[in-house]
Every structure is written in structure tokens, then in C-alpha cells.
Amino acid sequence: MKQILNHARIVLADRVIENGALQIDIETGLIAAIHEQPLSEGENLAGALLLPGLVEIHTDNLEKHLMPRNGVLWPALPAVITHDAQCVAAGITTVLDALAVGDLEGESVRLDTLHSSFQAIDQGMREDALRADHLFHLRCELAYPGLLAELEPLIAHPAVKLVSVMDHTPGQRQYRDLAQYKKYYGKKKVGWNEDTFLAAVEERKAKQAEFAGRHKQAVVEMARARGIALASHDDTDEAHIAEALRDGVAISEFPTTLEAAQAARAHGLQTVMGAPNVVRGGSHSGNVAALELARHDLLDILSSDYVPASLLHGAWLLHAQAGWSLPRAVAAVSLNPARAVGLADRGNIAVGQRADLVAMTARGDVPLARSVWKLGVRVF
């Protein structure tokens, strides 16, 4: 049995079919045929763009649903279901939920909810309670003393598709500017003054010296043994890229400088930047702008990070403002992230691929996801 989506502008990997039709095999949920001309039957998409379902490999959007108000923890499964609904409404059909394993903050929603979140996502997928396809990205905070004990029960799960090594110690990488670090974290701390700030910095540097090196070696070995893709985080200079290469990293997440992005490109690493950076016109941390990297041909993948709706919006702006072709911009939020984490069955409108699809229109610079399908079933 076939489902037909008709009169669509179909965005393929290399071109756009201006008025075509797509056939979906309902039994398998795969794309069965692509037609260059409209057919006489099927659902009329009235010229909407038809894109592959978006693939998100780094979102911590779940955190705001786990703690909707400061100090208020929400039950994990309802939080996951709400997060999932936001993702699907934004056109995201595959989500790698980025769960932080460890945190340099003494008290954190991340520490409190890691295992309950992991279990709720797993339960939601097993019980068909979620509309998107959810997988795991484990973000390993290297200077966190309990990292390995927290990581070991999780990393063997078959839905873990990405592991990143992070170091948010002040004075380097994203926070090499201590004034920027103080500005960001000072908002979270009541009663911080210069003395407490400097004490926190020294404490975190001491933890880094004690734990980060051996933790990174252990994390890298665990990921490699299971064939899980590895990402570095907040690379700032060529030395960080060289370090990532020694570790077998294939993805550089959120490089903070043009220098780091150029080094990543030179050595074949995939570069991920935040779609909120594109939508806002720059980094909230004062780092290099994603659009600047796009214009230098140094951007491969966008991530919605903390705003699911930014992923489609960011891709549209790459097309509208950075001069990228529509297929190239769409690939940054579908094909490229899928392949980067080893997903060969999605991210592209092609015969035999999953019928994960988004029909979109636009109002100026704002794209609208009108309909979303996962495996040929409408989920939005």
C-alpha cells in the first residue's frame, strides 16, 4: 500500500524538484518512489517544500522541562513527552538527547535528573509514547569527580550514538575569558562576590588537574570499544584540534574561534555550530558567529542546542543569508548529522530511506513546519 504526497517542492541532496510527488510504502515506512511530475492522486501539499526530517544531535532542551521553575523538579516521563512534542513541532524526527554526565556546579538539575531522564527516554521509546525517534548523546564533563561511575551504567545502551568530551573549567575553551565566565555563572549564583568567584575558579581548576586527563582517556576508550562516535567540545585553537585527532574524535562541537574551525576543516573533522547562534546573529558567549563560519565554508552541521525551533530556522537563514543552496542548507540539519553519528537510513529524501519528512512554508525569514511524518506516519 502506498501513500502519495503530491504537488511538493522536493528537496533532494543535490537539487530541488519544483513540482513533484513522493510515494511512501506504508508497510515499511520507507520512501518507495520520487516523481519529477505531480501525480493524479494523493495529498496535495500545494507547493510546500518537502524536506527530510531534521536530525538533532545535541539538544539539552529537556532540562527546562525537568525544572520548569527554579527549584521545581517535574516528573521525568511527562517532561520527556513535552520536550518530544516541541521537537516534532519544529520538524525534528530524530533527536539525540544530550544528557550531561557530570556538572561542575555543586547542585544541578543535570546531576539530579541524569538517570531518571535516561530511563524516561528509554521507557518512552519502548512504550511508543514519543513521536520522534530518540537516541542518546552522553556529554562527559571531564573534571567531574564521579564521571566514570555515572557513565558506566549508561554507555552500553544500544541507543547511545554519540559521546562528547567536555571541559568547562574556567580559564580555557569556551570560558578562557574569566569575565565572560563570571557574567554567565554569576546569574546562577545568589550572593557571589569577587572572593567567592575566585575561590570557585581555583576549586574547579584543581578538579581539572586531578581528574580531567585520566577521565578523558577512560571515556575515549569506552566509546571506541563500542564503536560510538566521539565529539570534542568548545575547541579554541589548533592544539585542541590536534588533541581531538589523537583521541579519534570525528566531530568538533561549537568551536569558539575561526582558527579552531579552520584546523578542524583541514583535518577532516565535522564542525557543529548552534542554530541559536545563527538565528540570534552571534554567540551568547561572545565566540565566533556561526554565519561567519558558514561564509568561510567551515560549517557542516547545525544543532538546535537549547531551542528546538532554531534548527529549521537556522537552516533557512543559511540559505537566505549565507548564500547556501537549499539542498546544502537542509543537509546541515538532516543528512550531515545523521551520517556523522552512523545513521545511514535517514536524513535524505531518496528511495529506500526512512520516510521521515517535513512539509514547510515560510513567512519571510521565518520557516513554518506545516506537517511532519516519521516512517510515513503523520506525527504533527
> For the segment 24-49, what is each residue's pLDDT rounded down to a tens digit?
999 999 999 999 999 999 999 999 99
Q: Taking Cα atoms as reference points, which of 338, 349, 336 lies closest to residue 31?
A: 349
Contact indicator for 352, 344 with CB cutoff of 8 Å: no
Encode pLDDT of 119-167 as tens digits.
Answer: 999 999 999 999 999 999 999 999 999 999 999 999 999 999 999 999 8
Q: Is the dihedral of CA 288, 290, 294, 298 positive or negative?
A: positive
| pLDDT score for 377 | 97
Q: Taking Cα atoms as reference points, which of 285, 328, 291 lies closest to residue 306?
A: 285
Q: Residue 212 — pLDDT band, cuts 50, 70, 90? A: confident
Express as a percent the part of the chain with pLDDT over 90. 82
| pLDDT score for 213 | 87
| pLDDT score for 189 | 54
Contact indicator for 87, 311 with CB cutoff of 8 Å: no
Contact indicator for 256, 236 with CB cutoff of 8 Å: yes
Asked whether residue 187 carries a pLDDT value surpassing 60, the answer given is no
Q: At what angle do helices 147-155 and 109-126 cross, to 10 degrees?
A: 0
What residue type is assigned to position 215 of the chain?
H
Place of cell 552512523: 342
The model's pTM = 0.93
| Residue of higher predicted confidence among 212 and 286 | 212
Contact indicator for 165, 233 with CB cutoff of 8 Å: yes
Distance between CA atoms of residues 153 and 155, nearest Å: 6
